[in-house]
Structures are given as C-alpha cells and as structure tokens.
C-alpha cells in the first residue's frame, strides 16, 4: 500500500482501540453533555481524506499518542465569528 505506514499504538481487534496490522479506528471524539457542551476530537486522515495530499497524515502522530483538540460548537450568536472561513448553502432544485 503506497500510503500506509506502521503506527505504534496499543490495542487489538476486540477492544475500544480496535487496531490490527492493516486497519483501525480513525475519528475519535470525547463529548461531555453538559451546558455548554464540551468536546474534544482528532481525525488523522486530513480534512479532505485524500491520501495523495501532503497534509493527509498531519494529525497521525497526535492521534496515535491519544491527544485531542477542543472542538468548537458554534452558537447562532457566533454566526459572524472570525473562525468561519466559508459557508455552504443548500437549495432544492
């Protein structure tokens, strides 16, 4: 496999971190259902999931060491927040 690399993580096929020699979990997220919601997550496969991208494995080391990033749950009052870089609008055609 041209895009595969050996990643040293614990776990085996019948536990939460179900890792085998050829595959394992990708998206990891921890959520505290409080008010406000607090959540952390990490996805190792790049934002677009394209294995040919030079950014594809940017977060693999973060993922393999069990580290997470705080996730932002946007509120309606934050619609003009500077963190928003674009929007998608869906229409019925």
Is pLDDT above 50 for 86?
A: yes
Q: What was the pLDDT predicted at 31?
A: 94
What tens digit of pLDDT does each residue of 44-77 get? Answer: 877 777 878 888 888 888 888 889 999 998 888 9
pTM for this one?
A: 0.69
Residue 5 has a pLDDT of 67
Q: Does the pLDDT of residue 39 top 90, yes or no?
A: yes
CA dihedral 23, 55, 68, 73 (to 10 degrees): -110
């Amino acid at each position: 496999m041209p895009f595969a690399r050996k990643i040293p993580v614990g776990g085996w096929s019948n536990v939460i971190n179900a890792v085998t020699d050829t595959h394992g979990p990708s998206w990891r997220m921890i959520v505290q259902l409080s008010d406000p919601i607090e959540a952390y997550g990490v996805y190792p496969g790049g934002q677009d999931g394209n294995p040919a991208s030079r950014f594809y494995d940017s977060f693999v080391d973060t993922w393999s060491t069990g580290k997470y990033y705080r996730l932002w749950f946007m509120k309606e009052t934050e619609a003009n927040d500077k963190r928003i870089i674009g929007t998608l609008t869906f229409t019925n055609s």
